[in-house]
C-alpha cells in the first residue's frame, strides 16, 4: 500500500494549478495533474518529474461527466484512495467583462458548467476515495470576487468589480456549496474549505495582477495540507478569513 499522500489538482497543466502541484510535490506528495488535454498534462507532469516530483497526468475535463467518471475510476484502480482534492479548474469566458444584464445566457451556462457544476461533479466522483483517506482535504478555488458581503458594501475591495458578473456569481456559488458540503462532512476526517488565491499573474489574472504564481498557490497548498486542528468550512486567503 502506498503510504505517500495523493493529491489531485484539476486544471493543473499551467498557472496556479501547476504551481500548486509543484509545491505539494515538494512536500513528498504524489501529484495527479488533471488536464482537459492529456498531452499538455503529460508535459506538465514531465516538467515536475525533472524536479524529482512524483507527478502523473490524468485526463480530466470537469465539464464532461464521462471524463470525470473515468478519471475517478483510474485513480481508484491505481491508488485506491485520494487524500487531497484541489478543485482548481475555472474559466472566464470572452464576453465576461459585460455587466450582469448584458452577458448572454450562453456565457452564464458555460461559466457555471465549469466553475460550479464541474466542481460539484468532480467532488461527488472523488468523495468516496477521499473518505478512504486518514485525513481527506478538499479545497475549492474561489475568489474574493465571490464575496457577496464585499460586493454589497460600498468602498470594499471589489465593490466596483461588477463587470465580471457570471464569473463573480459562479464563485459566490462555489462559496455556498463549500458551506453546504462542510456541514455534510463535519463529523468526518475530511476538511473542506474555499480558497482565494489572490490576484495572480496568470493568463486569467491579466497584466495588472499583483501576486506572483509562487504566492498564488500558497493558500491552496496550506488548506490541502491542514492538520486536524485546521479550519473547516472557511473562506481563506493567506491564512486570513474573508467575509462570505
Q: How many CA atoms lie within 13 A of 79 on its CB side?
A: 26
Q: Could you tell me the CATH number of the domain that includes residue 88? A: 3.40.50.720
Residue 107 forms part of a structural domain: yes
In a domain, 181, yes or no: yes
Q: E strand or H helix at 172, and its extent?
A: helix 165-184
- Write down the residue that cell numbers 462559496 correspond to: 175
Query: What pLDDT is recorded for position 95?
Result: 65
User: Cα–Cα–Cα angle for 156, 157, 163, nearest 5°?
Assistant: 100
**Quick check: is 119 in a domain?**
yes
Plot region of 114 (φ>0 → left; ψ -120 to 50 → alpha; else → beta): alpha
Marked catalytic residue, from 79, 164, 167, 177 = 167
Residue 209 lies in a domain: yes
Q: pTM score, two decimals?
A: 0.94
Judged against a pLDDT cut of 60, whether residue 7 lies above it is answered with: yes
User: Distance of CA 221 to CAs 22, 40, 93, 153, 224, Å?
Assistant: 10, 22, 26, 30, 5
Report pLDDT digits (tens) over 45-86: 999 999 999 999 999 999 999 999 999 999 999 999 999 999
Does residue 12 lie in a domain region?
yes
Q: Which of 5, 171, 191, 201 is catalytic?
A: 171
- Going by C-alpha positions, the residue among 187, 216, 220, 188 that lies closest to residue 202 is 216
Question: Has 171 been annotated as catalytic?
Answer: yes
- 1 part of a folded domain: no
Q: Is residue 147 part of a domain?
A: yes
* Tens-place pLDDT, residues 206-233: 555 566 778 889 999 999 999 999 999 9
CB 235, CB 175: distance < 8 Å: yes
167 annotated active-site: yes
pLDDT tops 80 at residue 19: yes
Please give the tally of structural domains in the chain: 1
Place of cell 478538499: 138
Q: What angle do CA 182, 183, 186 make, to 5 degrees?
A: 80
* Residue range(s) defining the domain that contains residue 148: 6-241
- Residue 170 domain flag: yes
Amino acid at each position: 500500500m502506498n503510504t505517500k499522500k495523493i493529491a489531485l489538482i484539476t486544471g493543473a497543466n499551467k498557472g496556479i494549478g501547476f504551481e500548486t502541484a509543484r509545491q505539494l510535490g515538494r512536500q513528498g506528495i504524489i501529484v495527479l495533474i488533471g488536464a482537459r488535454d492529456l498531452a499538455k498534462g503529460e508535459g506538465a507532469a514531465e516538467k515536475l518529474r525533472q524536479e524529482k516530483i512524483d507527478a502523473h497526468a490524468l485526463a480530466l475535463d470537469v465539464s464532461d461527466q464521462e471524463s470525470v467518471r473515468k478519471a475517478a475510476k483510474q485513480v481508484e484502480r491505481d491508488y485506491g484512495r485520494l487524500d487531497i482534492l484541489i478543485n482548481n479548474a475555472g474559466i472566464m469566458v470572452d464576453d465576461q467583462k459585460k455587466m450582469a444584464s448584458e452577458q448572454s445566457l450562453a456565457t452564464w451556462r458555460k461559466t457555471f458548467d465549469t466553475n460550479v457544476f464541474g466542481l460539484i461533479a468532480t467532488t461527488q466522483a472523488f468523495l468516496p476515495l477521499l473518505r478512504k483517506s486518514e485525513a481527506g482535504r478538499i479545497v475549492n478555488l474561489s475568489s474574493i470576487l465571490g464575496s457577496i458581503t464585499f460586493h454589497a458594501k460600498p468602498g470594499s475591495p471589489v465593490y466596483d468589480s461588477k463587470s465580471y458578473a457570471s464569473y463573480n456569481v459562479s464563485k459566490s456559488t462555489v462559496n455556498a456549496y463549500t458551506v453546504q458540503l462542510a456541514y455534510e462532512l463535519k463529523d468526518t476526517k475530511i476538511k473542506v474549505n474555499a480558497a482565494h488565491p489572490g490576484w495572480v499573474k496568470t493568463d486569467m489574472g491579466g497584466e495588472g495582477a499583483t501576486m506572483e504564481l509562487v504566492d498564488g498557490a500558497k493558500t491552496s497548498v496550506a488548506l490541502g495540507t491542514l492538520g486536524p486542528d485546521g479550519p473547516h468550512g472557511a473562506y481563506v486567503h493567506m491564512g486570513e478569513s474573508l467575509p462570505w
